[in-house]
Structure 1
Amino acid sequence: MFRFPARMTLGSRLLLVLLATGIIPLSLLALITLSIASDALSKQAFNKLTAVAEIKHATIERYLDGLTDLTLSFADSLEVVEALEGFGSAAERYLQESSLDAPRIQGMRDRLKKDYSESFASAYAQRHDGRRPELDGALAELDALAIALQSAYILDNPYPTGEKDKLDRADGAAAYHRLHERFHPVFRRYLERFGFYDIFLVEERTGRVLYSVFKEVDFATSLRDGPYADTGLGQAFRQADKAAPGQAAIIDFASYFPSYEAPAGFVSAPVLNAQGQRLGAVVFQFPIGELNAIMTERQGLGRAAKPIWWAAII
């Protein structure tokens, strides 16, 4: 039991009692008020984060809708229809027009293997802490036409790895080279204008990548049974192959070996001629950077907000 000091006056004792009986309720009232204010601030912050998440979700949807519209417009353009028809016909004649027999193809294969193990493997290793990729399996799956076209536009391309798009025309009189000289500057400008990573024209029957802007190791391979048929690019082609006219498909981001395992997304659409016959597909490869820019924009967010609104979006 509490006892006042013997020498304390009655007035002092009464003052202490009054203070004690007043401080305790005031302290409780302060704690309750603080709790209510904290709950209100938390609710306000959560509502703000939810609103930001909804805005970002809508921004991403608009971005993807824009990609779809660009792909459909590109697939419907006269240039793309003419390019697919022309490249398809020219590819069938390429080996004969270039006088490429089996011994010459084997020589190209050997040189291409060396280039793979040097240029591509070195660029890959720089991005993966020195780890070098396995390339023999992919090279073994390339047919004669793929070897010939990769030799012309990758191996014998005077521009370094990562800049192969600068070559408008390879050496030789084959019809393919004339078509490439005609269409490549047009498609390259389109890629640069809209910020795509690459653009592919894929033939319907064989699934062959008849054309690409950047000429990575997927160029001229088959997306039906070639080394990259099971990648995002192959999936994009198959989705376009079964899509109705006027429909596009978006393939989610995944690491993509021909681009050194960088995350890549794809959007594709079928290409039809004036008679409604399927010629193949157009595929855009787009980098993850634009979506990252949207997701990591911090305007209106606090330092610890990102995990909350990211979870709200996905």
Structure 2
Amino acid sequence: MSGTDTAAAPAEWVGVPRARRRPGLSIYSILLMMLLFVSVLSSIVVGVIGYINGTEALRAIAYERLVEIRENRAREVDELFTSIENSVRLGSLNATSIQAARAFSDGFRELQSAEPDAAASAELTEYYRDVFAPQLAEVSGEEVDGDAFVPQSPAQAYLQERYVIPYDTWEEAIQVDDAGDGSAWSAAHAQYHEYYRAMTELQRFEDVLMLDTEGNVIYTAFKGVDLGTNLFDGPYRLTNLADAYREVMSANLVGNVVFEDFDPYNPSLGAPSGWAVTPIAENGTIIGALAIELPIDRINEVMTVGEEWQDNGLGTTGETYLVGEDTLMRSVSRSLLEDPEAYERAAVAAGLSPDAAALGVADGNTLLRQTVSTEAVTKALAGERGTTVTPDYLGRDSLTAYAPLAIDGLPWAIVAQQATAEALVPVEDFTRNLILSTAGMIVFVCLLSLVLAQVFVRPLRRLKLAAHMIAGGQEGVQVDAGSSDELADVATAFNDMSRSLQVKSSLIEQQEKANERLILSFMPEGMASRYKGGDDAITQDSDDVTVIFADIMGFEELALSMTSEESIARLNDLIRTFDEAAERHGVERVRTTRQSYLASCGLGTPRVDHARRAVEFALELSEILERYSNQQGVELGLRAGLDSGKVTSGLIGRARVVYDMWGDAVNLAFRVQGESAEAGIYVTQRVADRIPDSLVLQPAGDVETQTGTQRVWRVESPAVMVEG
């Protein structure tokens, strides 16, 4: 019974149960995730790299622009002070200044012995007490004793009574040539004042002064209260003018110019004055000194670029200015010029005293008014140069380029700056645009990934079915990939691959041959091989070469009667004919211009008879132009210069390569043909020594070279030789 029951029982699986297939991600899901991951990650990485590189590049560009502006202004300031130095030096060395110094000194000494005029002395005392002292006290903010400035010497009192106090303004005083008092000083003034007035006005100097050897100011153009004063014991003995005068006179060097930095100058009612002083000498003996007051307006014009900041790359907030070693400005602030009220508020808020800010607004200038104690100025005054981001003198964060100025006697710093908010606008715009474009790219690649995943999976399913069929032993299985999807393109591409490779190989070979011909058309074969090999510093020295530099005379006049197309066509015909002649004679063309032809013989292929070949080639060129002139009814001629010697040839440039030749032989060939205005073939002695005696040479002058004089000969054409 048990065996029957066992046999009748249903079959059961015996052994280890088969593991169920675990559910996993489909190929579509995996492919979609891969596409999304790679696309989004690459977009983010590219965006981050682009942001870092782009912002750094834009910041570097902003700094480079400020450095360039700083260097331009520094160069112009240096040129300005060089011009001032030269003007002062020349002004002191001419005969007019020597004669004027003698005349004014003699006239001044004569006035020193004049009897004092009680009425005039009283008038002067009243002027200094009631006019000069109150004006100076108002601008200086301190009490001023007018009696301390009253003239003490008879000459000073005499001159100021007639040339200073009668006039309300300096502009009126400078126009007076003669007070009509009949003194020797007035006679000298009538004779020489026009010259110094013109110097002052044309050079826009603040004033021009002349001093004698005893420290007396014996002449001023604007007739300030310093006229007649003594810089050794007078009220202005402690001024920067007195310092410059003492330095010049103690040096005792004719032609020496001493610059003195700006400082408040009481005769100008406390206005800043800087000086350039030089001695006046006669026959090597110093007889006085010439002093000019530095032109503030010209300095400001240089630093403000004529107030055309935006046209010079400084935008709406950029500026350049000068700072002295006392950290005070030596030029005007842009903010003051554009909006005085806003400048005053900002300057006071940044720490400038209200009185200094008000004086700057009243004067219309920040010279010796505005303090600039920034990091950039500190480094520049210490001799450093560079760029930084730092708050400026008005408290604005600014990109700043700073450097010291190399002007003798003036330890100044130059600063170019622009508000960070404006200078870095391109960085902000770039960042915003990069973020938006990266976000848009991410959205786009997500949508594209969805579509591509669908497209990629469909042919894979067909390939899976075909693989099963092949595994089942079927032969000649064809995968129907459709007529418009990628698998159909892949199948067609594989079938056409070998044929297309052959065609492309042929095309590449043809292109390489065309490139080879193109390269060989403007450089020798040896250099072409090195150029194709990646060598970017290709030169060749040749010790014995004949250079031909030829000009087509008359072609420019002929071209004026033609259109551009016609003139180029005719020129190409001539150059083509020249090239054919060059090939026949073994001459190698180097380069051509509109009417010039530079060639050599013996450069690429060394030749013993390179000089003869070059001369024969030049003669054929002359014949070509003669035939062309007869055929076309025009007048063209050849002016050629030839020289033999050492030359260097090579490739110049990287993005656009040019084959060129240079050296003494090239320079001399050019000079030889340029020395004569007449057509002809001109050769140096070195060429003449190498050509056959059958060629007739006529002397054509000499040219000077670094190695001595070179004789030049003119080669007579065969026609001229027969006639002769």
The question of a shared fold, defined as TM-score above 0.5 by the shorter chain, is answered with: yes
Q: Match for 2:62 among 41, 45, 69?
A: 45
Distance change (3 Å), C-alpha of 1:254 and 1:280: same
Offset, 1:222: 0.6
1:271/1:291 CA distance change after superposition, 3 Å: same
Q: Which moved more, 1:207-216 or 1:42-51?
A: 42-51
Q: Which amino acid aligns with 2:158?
A: A
1:309–1:260 CA distance, 2 compared to 1 (3 A): farther
- Quote the residue 2:156 is aligned against: 146
Matches within 5 A, 1:88-237: 88-96=105-113, 98=114, 100-101=115-116, 104-105=117-118, 107-121=119-133, 124=136, 128=139, 131=141, 134-136=144-146, 138-140=148-150, 142-155=152-165, 157=166, 159-162=167-170, 163-204=172-213, 206-237=214-245
Q: What letter matches 1:302 in structure 2?
A: G
How far off is 1:16 after superposition? 9.4
What letter matches 2:121 in structure 1?
Answer: R
Residue of structure 2 equivalent to 1:267: 276
CA distance in structure 1 between the partners assigned to 2:120 and 2:143 by the alignment:
21
Tell me which amino acid in the other structure corresponds to 1:150.
Q
Residue aligned with 1:312, SS: strand
Alpha-carbon distance in structure 2 between the residues aligned to 1:208 and 1:310: 44
What's the CA shift for 1:141?
6.5
Of 69, 75, 87, the residue aligned with 2:104 is 87
Query: What is the RMSD computed on CA atoms of the aligned residues?
Result: 2.9
Deviation at 1:272, TM superposition (A): 0.8
Amino acid at match of 2:160: Q
User: Cα distance 1:175–1:234, how it changes in 2: closer, same or farther (>3 A)?
Assistant: same
Aligned residues: 294
Secondary structure, counterpart of 1:120 in structure 2: helix
Higher relative contact order (CA 8 A, sep 6+): 1
- Once residues 152 and 215 of structure 2 are traced to their aligned partners in structure 1, the CA distance between those partners, rounded to angstroms, is 13
The Cα shift of 1:24 comes to: 5.8
Distance 2:401 2:224 in 1: 33
Report the Cα offset of residue 284 of structure 1: 0.5
Q: Which amino acid aligns with 1:201?
A: M
| CA distance in 1 between partners of 2:208 and 2:143 (Å) | 24
Q: Is the Cα–Cα contact under 8 Å of residues 91 and 176 in structure 1 kept in the other structure?
A: yes
The 5-angstrom pairing of residues 283-294 of structure 1 reads 283-294=291-302
Deviation at 1:87, TM superposition (A): 1.5
More displaced 10-residue stretch of structure 1: 170-179 or 210-219: 170-179
- The change in CA–CA distance for 1:160 and 1:310 in structure 2 (over 3 A counts) is farther
Other structure's SS at 1:166 match: coil
Deviations 1:102-132 (A, max 9, x none): xx35x43332132234443565577x3x957
Please list every run of 5 or more consecutive structure 1 residues that lacks an aligned counterpart in the other structure.
1-9
Larger strand proportion, structure 1 or 2?
2
Residue 200 of structure 1 aligns to a residue whose secondary structure is: strand
Using the alignment, how far apart are the partners of 2:40 and 2:127 within structure 1? 83
Q: Is the 8 A contact 1:146 1:220 kept in 2?
A: yes
Q: In 2 relative to 1, CA 165–310 (structure 1 residues): closer, same or farther, beyond 3 Å?
A: farther
How far 1:69 moved relative to its partner? 0.7
SS in structure 2 of the partner of residue 263 of structure 1: strand
Distance 1:149 1:135, change over 3 A: farther
- Normalised TM-score (structure 1): 0.82
Match of 1:110, SS?
helix
Q: Which has the higher helix share?
A: 1
1:252 to 261, 273, 284: 261
Paired AA for residue 300 in structure 1: G
Q: Which residue of 2 aligns with 1:239?
A: 247
Unaligned runs of 5+ in 2: 1-25, 321-398, 405-412, 414-724
CA distance in 2, matches of 1:241, 1:55: 35
Work out whether 1:75 is the aligned partner of 2:88: no
SS in 1 for 2:299: helix
Q: Which residue of 2 aligns with 1:281?
A: 289
CA change 1:196–1:310 in 2 (3 A) is farther
Does structure 2 retain, via aligned residues, the 8 Å contact 1:249–1:268? yes
- Cα offset, 1:223, TM superposition: 1.1
Pair 1:137–1:111, CA change in 2 (3 A): closer
Cα distance change, pair 27–172 in 1 and its aligned pair in 2 (3 A): same
Letter matched to residue 254 of structure 2:
P
